Amino acid sequence: MSIRRTFLLLIAPLFLLLAGVNGALLYLWERAEAERGLAGQAIAAAVTTAAFADASDDLAHALADRARTEALRDAARRVTGLQGLYIVRPDGQTVQIVGRPSAFWPGRFEAPRAPVAAPIRSDPTGRRMATGLAPVARGGYVIAQIDADPLFAQVEGLQRLIAGVVAAAGLLGLALALAIARLIVRELARNSAMIAAIRADQPPGDADRFAIRETRDLALAVRLMRASVSGRMARGRHELARRDRERDEAGAVAAHRETAFAALATTAAGAALAVRMLGAAPAGSFYALCDGDGRATLVLGDCAGDTPSDALARAVAARRFFEANLATTARVAQGEAAFALTRVAWIAWSVEAPPAAQALALLDGDDADRVAAYVVRAEGLDPSAIIDDLATLLRLDGVVAVVRPGSAQAGEG
3-154 fold: Beta-Lactamase (3.30.450)
Report the alpha-carbon distance of residue 292 to residue 271 in Å, rounded: 13
Tell me: pLDDT of 327 over 70: yes
Give residue limits of the domains in the chain.
Answer: 3-154, 206-246, 252-412
Among 111, 112, 132, which residue's Cα sits nearest to residue 120?
132
Q: How far apart are CA 71 and CA 48, in angstroms?
A: 13
Domain 252-412, CATH 3.60.40.10 — does that match? yes
Q: Please tell me the number of Cα atoms within 13 Å of 211 on its side-chain side.
A: 8
Split at pLDDT 50, 70, 90, the class of 4 is: low
pLDDT digits (tens, 9 = 90+) for 143-199: 888 888 787 777 777 778 777 877 777 777 777 777 777 777 777 777 777 777 766
- Provide the mean pLDDT of the chain: 79
Q: Give the global pTM.
A: 0.44
Report d(CA 316, CA 260) in Å as an integer.
8
DSSP class of 201: T
Rounded to whole angstroms, the Cα distance separating 302 from 341 reads 5
354-388 pLDDT tens trace? 999 999 999 888 888 899 999 888 888 899 999 99
